[in-house]
Amino acid sequence: MNTDIQIAPSILSADFARLGEEVRAIDEAGADYIHIDVMDGHFVPNITIGPAIVKALRPHSQKPFDVHLMISPADPFLEAFALAGADIITIHPEAGPHLHRSLQSIRALGKRAGVSLNPATPISAIAHVMDLVDLILVMTVNPGFGGQSFLDSQIDKIAEIRRMIDASGRVIDLEVDGGITRSTAPLARQAGANILVAGTASFEGGAAAYRDNLAALRAHI
């Protein structure tokens, strides 16, 4: 078991009818982060939640809220998510005209700034903002829906970004999201990821299974 790897269960796979209880349960089961997928039906083909839900969930966990904005434009909503209780705000390079300025805005709000790369987004998109990035999220599925299969084509990208991070001399988390299971988690870990987002693998089986689900993921890393 590698205790240096952190697990960020995605509430996209939780029971939305009992979301507060689900967040409490996955927190108590050993989650390191609470990963919150925000989708607008425009940037990705699905609609999930907004700042009001993030604010409502905030009292249910003291774990860092890892908020992934799959919305465009993202800039008008950064402050709302910061005020709602996000600890990390991750945006996509394609979600606005000025990635550098957007990252500055997130940091000015006192939050950790993340950039997410879709499968077809080149690594060059982040080459000139490494000084502002606290987290890089590599999507190993096309964003928009949970339950998709891990794209092996992204393993080399993860490894290359790990080399970029190491060369930068900065402390930057490398997160992987999409199709993380007991069999794919080791692939992401070996490529250099230190945070794994797991939706179905975390929440399957109901609250009684959450602790065992997270333990099983850790045991296979």
Which residues does the annotation place in the binding site for substrate? 10, 68, 144-147, 177-179, 199-200
pLDDT reported for residue 1 = 42
**Total tally of structural domains belonging to the chain:** 1
Let me know if residue 199 belongs to a domain: yes
Burial of residue 14 (CB within 10 Å: 0-12, 13-18, 19+) is buried
pTM, rounded to two decimals:
0.96
Is residue 177 annotated as a catalytic residue, yes or no? yes
Query: How far is CA 88 from its chain centroid?
Result: 9
Which residues does the annotation place in the binding site for a divalent metal cation? 35, 37, 68, 177
The 10s digit of each residue's pLDDT in 18-32 is 999 999 999 999 999
CATH of the domain at 140: 3.20.20.70
Question: What range defines the domain where residue 202 resides?
Answer: 6-220
Mean pLDDT per 10-residue segment, the chain (221 residues): 81 97 98 98 95 98 98 98 98 97 98 97 97 98 84 96 97 96 96 97 97 96 89
Task: Provide the b/e sequence for 56-72 (b: ≥16 CB within 10 Å).
Answer: ebbebbebbbbbbbbbe
Which residues does the annotation place in the binding site? 10, 35, 37, 68, 144-147, 177-179, 199-200
Q: Which pair of structure tokens corresponds to residue 41?
A: 């039906």
Q: What is the C-alpha separation between 45 and 54, in angstroms, rounded?
A: 20
Let me know if residue 75 belongs to a domain: yes
Please give the angle made by the CA atoms of 23, 199 and 75, to the nearest 5 degrees: 80
Let me know if residue 133 belongs to a domain: yes
Options 37, 66, 134, 173, the catalytic residue = 37
Which residues is 9 bridged to in the sheet?
Answer: 198
Let me know if residue 12 belongs to a domain: yes
Options 75, 152, 177, 212, the catalytic residue = 177
Let me know if residue 1 belongs to a domain: no
Is residue 32 annotated as a catalytic residue, yes or no? no
Let me know if residue 15 belongs to a domain: yes
pLDDT reported for residue 144 = 79
The 10s digit of each residue's pLDDT in 58-87 is 999 999 999 999 999 999 999 999 999 999
DSSP characters over the chain? --TT-EEEEBGGGS-GGGHHHHHHHHHHTT-S-EEEEEEBSSSSS-B---HHHHHHHGGG--S-EEEEEE-SS-GGGHHHHHHHT-SEEEE-GGGSS-HHHHHHHHHHTT-EEEEEE-TTS-GGGGTT-TTT-SEEEEESS-TT-SSPPP-GGGHHHHHHHHHHHHHHTS--EEEEESS--TTTHHHHHHHT-SEEEESHHHHTT-GGGHHHHHHHHHHH-
Q: What is the C-alpha separation between 120 and 100, in angstroms, rounded?
A: 20
Q: Which pair of structure tokens corresponds to residue 175?
A: 């997160």
The 10s digit of each residue's pLDDT in 30-41 is 999 999 999 999
